[in-house]
Amino acid sequence: MEKRFVKRLLILFLLIVATLFNNYFGQNPKRKKNVDNVVQYSLVYFSRAVSKDSIKVTAFLEIPFKSLQFIKRKDGFHASYDASIMLQDKDGKQIIRNMWSDSILTKNYMHTQSNFRSRKHYTNFIIAKDKYIILSDLYDKDTRNKGSKKKKLDYKKQKKTPSLMEPIIIAELKGEWGFESNKFPITGKKITSIDKGLTVLLSGFVDDSPYSLQVFIKGVDDKKELFVINENTNDGFFNHEVLIDKEYLNSINLNIEVQLVQSKKEKKIEKNITIYKPGLSGFVNNVESSFRQMKYILTNTERNNAKGKKGKDLENIFLEYWKLRDPTPETSLNELMEEYYIRVNYVNDHYNMSWKEGWETDFGMIYILFGPPDQIQRANMNSSNTSVYQVWYYNRINKEFVFKDLNGFGDYRLDRPFLGSNY
């Protein structure tokens, strides 16, 4: 049974590899963009105290090249866009709006498909401790598609002291980014460079009495105290930078925990980070969940070997599995791993249900293993039955999969089991 399963698994893996190399190395500039790519930019913001009653908010737009449509011209590939960030008060009244109109030129087609190459824009707001709304727009001038994002800010809780703002991870990047020169706030959870350790900005509001800050690093297996800061201020706020030595950053998943104590009152906040390791996909943020998402490509033996493993042990199993399957071990990118988790990320965005994530659905399983179908047929089962079905056609491998929604709740199930009872 195990041998038959491994054989079928190998075939599936080869299919993934074939699709992967077509996607990554085919460099087909005629490939169509999904209309929803334009919404895949990010809107993030960072907050820190600048006076007893004021907060400085630095809001960023990060626009991955992949979210834009590039047009091939004589000198390379071009993309053009308009973008904006707007701040509103709690009643929806506009306070300020900043706009950008920009273009991108690259001579490398692979850059146009990249999630990791991006264009960044930022703006600063000095605001009172109240409720606000940040809105952003991204308009692709070539496709005329538009993406929008909206986030609510609530700083009323900062009126009660002591209080903590979320820690900010600071990296070195040439330019002006709303902080000190050449200092850039990490806009995601993933940290790509730890050679000099991690600089963390701590900020908050306090009374006119002594206070204490404790900083801990929590790995998968332990918790260490790194710093204790004892201070007193009459300003009503504080900003402290601390440097976490790289010796404490040897796990993929870590939590930075900050505790603020003043006049027997205690506030605590945590920030989760992911430390990049060569070959690690940009879509992997948690080893335990990412390992569970591998259920469709693990053999029974591999499952059993990982059973009961946690923390560093599971992390080592996870990294070793993908290291052995890296099609280009001489590079820092594991293309097979990247393709797999791109698909996981896609199905989690498109096939999520209230009671399970997209990767756990039958839609998700087939998409992860075979990629996007060449054709989808949707139809009612029959006139006397409200159930519907979908047929996914994969012409390149001469396969089709029938999914039926038998209860009318959008829970599509494969009409016939796939790869036996393992799933």
Task: Give residue 10's pLDDT band: very low, low, confident or very high (50, 70, 90).
Answer: low
Domain spanning 160-276: which CATH class is it, in words?
mainly beta
Higher-pLDDT residue of 246, 257: 257
pLDDT of the residue at 15: 56
Identify the CATH number of the domain defined by range 32-159. 2.60.40.10
Closest to 319 measured CA to CA, from 380, 266, 376, 250: 250
d(CA 392, CA 371): 11
Number of Cα atoms under 13 Å in the Cβ half of residue 148: 4
Task: Give residue 27's pLDDT band: very low, low, confident or very high (50, 70, 90).
Answer: very low
The predicted-structure confidence for 321-355, as pLDDT tens digits, reads as follows 999 988 888 887 788 998 899 899 889 988 988 78
Rounded mean pLDDT of the chain? 85
Query: Taking 70 as the threshold, does the pLDDT of residue 319 lie above it?
Result: yes
pLDDT of the residue at 152: 95
The stretch 184-200 carries a mean pLDDT of 81
The predicted-structure confidence for 87-114, as pLDDT tens digits, reads as follows 999 999 999 999 999 999 999 888 887 7
Query: Taking 60 as the threshold, does the pLDDT of residue 4 lie above it?
Result: no
Higher-pLDDT residue of 415, 1: 415
pLDDT of the residue at 28: 41
Query: Taking 50 as the threshold, does the pLDDT of residue 245 lie above it?
Result: yes
In which residue ranges of the chain is CATH 2.60.40.10 found?
A: 32-159
pLDDT of the residue at 101: 97
pLDDT of the residue at 228: 95
Which pTM value belongs to this model?
0.71
Displacement of CA 175 from its chain's centroid (Å):
24
In whole angstroms, how far apart are CA 380 and each of 26, 384, 404?
38, 9, 10
Query: Taking 50 as the threshold, does the pLDDT of residue 391 lie above it?
Result: yes
pLDDT of the residue at 280: 80
Query: Taking 70 as the threshold, does the pLDDT of residue 13 lie above it?
Result: no
The stretch 19-45 carries a mean pLDDT of 60
pLDDT of the residue at 364: 94
Task: Give residue 25's pLDDT band: very low, low, confident or very high (50, 70, 90).
Answer: very low
Query: Taking 80 as the threshold, does the pLDDT of residue 66 lie above it?
Result: yes
The predicted-structure confidence for 261-291, as pLDDT tens digits, reads as follows 999 999 999 998 888 777 788 788 888 999 9
The stretch 376-398 carries a mean pLDDT of 77
**Torsion angle (degrees, nearest 10) of CA 64, 66, 71, 74:** 70
> Does residue 215 contact residue 227 with C-beta atoms inside 8 Å?
yes
In which residue ranges of the chain is CATH 2.60.40.3880 found?
A: 160-276
Strands (E) in 245-384, as ranges, are 253-262, 265-275, 375-382
The stretch 121-144 carries a mean pLDDT of 95
> Does residue 37 contact residue 67 with C-beta atoms inside 8 Å?
yes
pLDDT of the residue at 358: 93
d(CA 237, CA 49): 6
Query: Taking 60 as the threshold, does the pLDDT of residue 251 lie above it?
Result: yes
